[in-house]
Amino acid sequence: MSVENAIQTPNDQILLKVRNLKKYFPTSNGVVRAVDDVSFDVSKEETLALVGESGSGKTTVANVILGKYVADAGSILYKGYEIGNIPLIKRNLLLRREIQVVFQDPATSLNPKKTVKDIIETAINIHYPNLNKYEKIERLLILMNYVGLTEDYLFKLPGELGGGEKQLVAIARALATNPTCLILDESTSNLDVSAQSRILKTLLRIQKSKNLTYILITHDLAVVKNISHRINVMYLGKLMEIASVEELFSNPLHPYTQMLLASIPTISEEESKTLPKGIESKGEIPSAINPPSGCRFRTRCPFVMNICSEQEPILNEVSHGHYVACHLINSMKK
């Protein structure tokens, strides 16, 4: 069964439905196929991770959901309404309020000349202009408390904060609109281990208390394991594998997924035993202007077969909720 014909969760539990999404970028050297016919669902209150190397298309998917880019083909349904063809500038305030983003580098996403109070209050003023001064202050303090920042931070500038503290301010700003869905774009990748741990614990606590849905964009599978429910593995604009976190880490089927997992740094022999063996990262991701024929991973795959260059594999369900696009896996099932 393909992902096109399978609904992984009941319709009333699906917040976001992406179908046959395509986003291309014309350049002087040709057309970059950043996202090329991608389909998946995001359920309410889950954390769905989009993982893959740089150039896999995961951030482009997020940017189409956010409205930064408009889809060239396909559909994105949010609560049943088509949003894939609506740029951010034309989206109504309610839609912009409900889908928020926390960027990778808070140092560039926060205005260095504004205090923490001004940064968060700006979002409150835009989305809740009818609140009086005291209600706005109350909301501001509640948001600060939610992310674990005290009133001492209110009049500090971003330059006076550590990396983790800046990201907490960015999270508070995103929460100021009372969103339903947060897109986390590599939101812990620039942080040290202790700050990363603090951010992840904060995000988990907030998700539980506010019933939020997260879309996590990352290349760090260690982060994915700690915070996500399901994982979409992307490579060169295509989906390679979809599975729950437990299933993907215990039974990775696509050679690319195995390669990613085998590349996770470990500090003990016990950790190393849990990772796939016999497959190593090799080569670089090809150009999206001229992707390989058939399976796009075939130029780096140690198990490549003749059919891999001739025919593009279809994303098929191999077990409940576990989808793989690989000729090797399909041939083993027959």
DSSP SS3 for 114? coil
223, 107, 111: which is closest to 163 by C-alpha?
107
The Cα-based distances of 228 to 7, 79, 214, 290 in angstroms read: 19, 21, 8, 33
Number of Cβ within a 10 Å radius of residue 198: 18
CA distance linking residue 174 with residue 266, whole number of Å:
33
Amino acid symbol at 22: K
Q: Are strands 238-244 and 322-324 parallel, antiparallel or unpaired?
A: antiparallel
**DSSP string across 161-184:** S-HHHHHHHHHHHHHTT--SEEEE
How many residues belong to the chain? 334
Spatial neighbors of 246 by CB under 8 A, at least 6 apart, are none
**Domains in the chain, please, with CATH?**
11-333 (3.40.50.300)
110, 97, 106, 37: which is closest to 67 by C-alpha?
97
Per-residue pLDDT, 333:
64
User: What pTM does this model have?
Assistant: 0.91
User: Which strands make up the sheet holding 99-102, listed edge to edge?
Assistant: 99-102, 181-185, 213-218, 47-51, 230-235, 238-244, 322-324, 316-319
Instruction: Report yes or no: 55 and 74 within 8 Å, Cβ to Cβ.
Output: no
Per-residue pLDDT, 223:
85
**Cα–Cα–Cα angle for 62, 86, 242, rounded to 5 degrees:** 30
pLDDT truncated to tens, each residue of the chain (334 aa)?
444 444 345 567 999 999 999 999 999 999 999 999 999 999 999 999 999 999 999 999 999 999 999 999 999 999 999 999 999 999 988 899 999 999 888 878 899 999 999 999 999 999 999 999 999 999 999 999 999 999 999 999 999 999 999 999 999 999 999 999 999 998 888 788 888 899 999 999 999 999 999 999 998 888 898 899 999 999 999 999 999 999 999 999 999 999 999 887 665 565 555 566 667 767 788 999 999 999 999 999 999 999 999 999 999 999 999 999 999 987 776 5
CA distance linking residue 21 with residue 38, whole number of Å:
5
Amino acid symbol at 73: A
Number of Cβ within a 10 Å radius of residue 299: 17
Hey, what are 182's tokens? 């947060």
CA distance linking residue 284 with residue 280, whole number of Å:
12
DSSP SS3 for 72? coil
Instruction: Report yes or no: 280 and 301 within 8 Å, Cβ to Cβ.
Output: no
DSSP SS3 for 318? strand
Per-residue pLDDT, 187:
85
CA distance linking residue 84 with residue 58, whole number of Å:
15
